[in-house]
Amino acid sequence: MHDLLIRNAVIALPGGTLLEGDLACTQGRITAIASQITGDGREEIDAEGKLLMPGVIDPQVHFREPGGTDKEDLASGSRAAVRGGVTSFLEMPNCNPATIDQEQMDWKISRGRATSVANFGFFIGATVDNLESLNNVHPACGIKIFMGSSTGSLLVNEEKDLDRIFGNGERLIAVHAEDETRIRERTAQLLGDEETRDYAIHSLIRDAQTALIATERALHLSGKYGRRLHILHLSTAEEVARLRAGKADQVTCEVLPNHLFLNTDDYAVLGSRVQMNPPIRDPQNAEALWAGLHDGVIDIVATDHAPHLLADKEKAYPRSPSGMPGVETSLPLMMTAMREGRCTLTQILRWMCSGPAELYKIANKGKLIEGFDADLALIDIDGYKPVRDEEVFSRTGWSPFSGRSLTGWPTHTIVGGRVVFENGNVRPGVFGQPLSFGS
Residue of closest CB approach to ligand DOR = 323
β partners of residue 43 = 4
Contact 281, 265 (CB under 8 A): no
Check binding of 277 to ligand DOR (CB under 6 A). Answer: yes
Give the per-residue contact string, 141-180, with ligand DOR (x = CB under 6 A; - = no).
---------xx------------------------x----
Contacts with ligand DOR in 242-261 (CB under 6 A)?
none
How many of the other CB atoms lie within 10 Å of CB of 408? Answer: 28
Minimal distance, residue 94 CB to ligand DOR, in Å: 5
Gap between the Cα atoms of 59 and 191, Å rounded: 34
Instruction: Of 311, 292, 141, give the one whose Cα is nearest residue 215.
Output: 292
User: Choosing from 304, 373, 375, 380, which is the catalytic residue?
Assistant: 304
Q: Is 73 a catalytic residue?
A: no
Distant-in-sequence, close-in-space partners of 346: CB < 8 Å, separation ≥ 6 = 15, 16
Residue closer to ligand DOR, measured from CB, 136 or 149 = 149
Residue among 315, 232, 236 at smallest CA distance from 272: 315
Please say which residue, 94 or 394, places its beta carbon nearer to ligand DOR.
94
Burial of residue 223 (CB within 10 Å: 0-12, 13-18, 19+) is: middle
Instruction: Provide the residue count of the chain.
Output: 439
Nearer to ligand DOR, 127 or 411 (CB): 127
Is 99 near ligand DOR (CB under 6 A)?
Answer: no
Quick check: 276 binds ligand DOR (CB under 6 A)?
yes
Nearer to ligand DOR, 79 or 176 (CB): 176
Taking CB under 6 A as the rule, does residue 306 contact ligand DOR? yes
Binding marks (x or -) toward ligand DOR, 316..355, rule CB under 6 A? ------xx--------------------------------
Instruction: Lay out the site mask for ligand DOR across 29-68 (x = CB under 6 A, - = otherwise).
Output: ---------------------------------x------
Contacts for 197-201 with beta carbons within 8 Å, 24 or more apart? 197/271, 197/316, 197/317, 198/267, 198/317, 199/267, 199/271, 199/272, 199/274, 199/275, 199/317, 199/320, 200/264, 200/267, 201/317
CB 51 within 8 A of CB 10: yes
List of residues contacting ligand DOR (CB under 6 A): 62, 94, 150-151, 176, 276-277, 304, 306, 322-323
- Give the residue numbers annotated as catalytic, written as ranges: 304
